[in-house]
Amino acid sequence: MSVLTIETAPIEGQKPGTSGLRKKTREFMGRHYLENFVAAIFAATGGLAGKTLVLGGDGRYFNDRAAQVILRMAAAEGARRVIVGQGAILSTPAASNLIRQRRTDGGIILSASHNPGGPDADFGVKFNTPNGGPAPEEVTNRIHAETLRLSSYRILEAQDVDLSRPGISRLGGMEVEVVDPVADYRALMERLFDFPAIAAMIARGFRLRFDAMHAVTGPYARAILEGALGAPEGSVVNATPLPDFGGGHPDPNPVWARPLVDLVMGPDAPDFAAASDGDGDRNMILGRGLYVTPSDSLAVLAANARLAPGYAGGLKGVARSMPTSAAVDRVAAALGIPCHETPTGWKFFGNLLDAGLATICGEESFGTGSDHVREKDGLWAVLMWLNILAARGEGVAAVMAGHWRRFGRNYYARHDYEALDPARAGAMMAALRDRLPQLAGGEAAGRRIEAADEFAYTDPVDGARSEGQGIRIRLEGGGRIVLRLSGTGTEGATLRVYLEQAEARPDRLDLDPAAVLAPLAAAAEALAGIRAHTGRAAPDVTT
């Protein structure tokens, strides 16, 4: 085996977003593309000599080949060991757990999360730091800087490593440890939740359905829900991870998981249903005849966390991304704990969790998690819900109704306009930004605008400042409109419009969310001129 030094040159566009670098699969498969970005990660984090990394991904197309390339590059750079999930598979929360449990120097996760997979779809690479969380902006900025000055990379000339079964082998001077991707994660869940109580509820006839969407959580859900908890075989569907996710879109929302929504709204609905995404960090929660918004789910988990053994001592605080509804804010106020508002991106929760300022965090984009790892965790949220249902002896609908009676309800929706022309989308946001000082005191949706600004965040732990994190418009009577351009797409720009209406009156807690929010949607169009700027008369996806 010999180490090759390959001459290369910077490749335009390798700037990581909120969750690493996401591009079309064929772009990652292009000459030097993957290698350049991985070499930039190594250089930006101080090199690999003597270090240990975790490596794995969601099994999408090119996952297996990318893993072999990264192993050979790590060996060439003098890494001591790389811990790899069997078959190069690891869910994102399981990878975070391994980084933390084994105290490694970080990890590389191969995933484009909820984006489609396949040769003509999407691929992604992100670096997680030794705390198990996504690299903060300071690190991703260094990675990007390295991509702009790269002139060569090193790679070991060697055959593929056998990743098909657990064990330790050598690649040059580096150890490659292949591990069961599920075992450590399952053990962690058993420590956090009351498995006997959940199993007893299932044994009494409680019916559940979990849709793994042919993505990475299939093996995890089978091992835990059907294996450890005794749910009947077949409770977990679409459980085999496939390179193209079975031709589907592994995004657990009412649009892409429509069959699951139809099931819970039908005559043979299970008591509980859930879905997870490509890499296992997102979740959708449903009950019989009921869809639970991610914002409501976060609030319910925070309000009931003490029912789970791992959280019996209470919460140190909660945190939510700015676009997420304020439902959890009222829970925090009632519990007498802090509630932190951060920009979108799980990496912003990392400092809060590490500093002991928050225990449970969540985003409206179907992500919830806690301080057990430094990523959002779809299956964790499912198990927390099951623990709550078992402890309370109630169904999902009863839990939600009781929650709204106690805390009030935040009607909420997100409208996504996808694959927009970046210049036109940017011009729309710039025009709205310029008008912000004049908006306050005006009207929208027939109501006075109380405030209009662009969200900026100062990290309470390290003082880092993040500007330009989304435009907020607050209306009298508890209404809010948020607009931001997302950084998780791989084609064009994605505009996300968030609509929220708080309601505390007892006779208005069971209204049609679409009807409640329609005036806010019209106001967003009028304020931003979405159709005039983008040519789009309606969103591509509404959740």
| Torsion over CA: 136, 142, 145, 147 (sign) | negative
Whole-number Å distance between alpha carbons of 384 and 307: 9
Residue written as tokens 């994102």?
Answer: 92
Calpha distance 472→31 (Å, rounded)? 42
Q: State the DSSP code for 455.
A: -
Exactly one of 113, 365, 370, 486 is catalytic; which is it?
A: 113
Cα separation of 298 and 340, whole Å? 13
Question: C-alpha 400: how far from its chain's center?
Answer: 23
| CA distances from residue 245 to 215, 233, 238 in whole angstroms, order as listed | 6, 21, 9
The Cα-based distances of 510 to 71, 142, 271, 301, 331 in angstroms read: 54, 49, 20, 20, 19
Q: What angle do CA 277, 486, 37 make, to 5 degrees?
A: 75
Tell me whether residue 113 is one of the annotated catalytic residues: yes
Sort 78 into a burial class: Cβ within 10 Å, 0-12 / 13-18 / 19+.
middle
CA distance 256 to 338: 34
Which of 418, 433, 442 has its CA nearest to residue 469? 433
Per DSSP, 389 falls in state H
Of the candidates 112, 387, 356, 401, which has an alpha carbon nearest to the alpha carbon of residue 225?
Answer: 387
CA distances 135 to 44, 126, 367, 484, 505, Å, are 11, 8, 17, 22, 43
- Cβ atoms within 10 A of the Cβ of 201, count? 22
Q: The tokens of 193 are what?
A: 């939740």
Cα within 13 Å of Cα(408), Cβ side: 19
Integer angstrom CA distances of residue 526 from 190, 520, 533: 50, 10, 12
Question: Contact at 8 Å (CB) between 359 and 349?
Answer: no
**Complete DSSP assignment for 343-382:** -SSTHHHHHHHHTTS-SEEEETTTEEEETTSSS--HHHHH
Cβ density class 298-313: b for 16+ within 10 Å, e for less? bbbbbbbbebbebbee
Backbone angles phi, psi at 31, to 5 degrees: -55, 120
For residue 320, the number of C-alpha atoms closer than 13 Å in the C-beta half-sphere is 25
Measure the CA–CA gap between 538 and 541, rounded to whole angstroms.
9
Q: Are strands 52-57 and 107-110 parallel, antiparallel or unpaired?
A: parallel
Residues with catalytic annotation?
A: 113
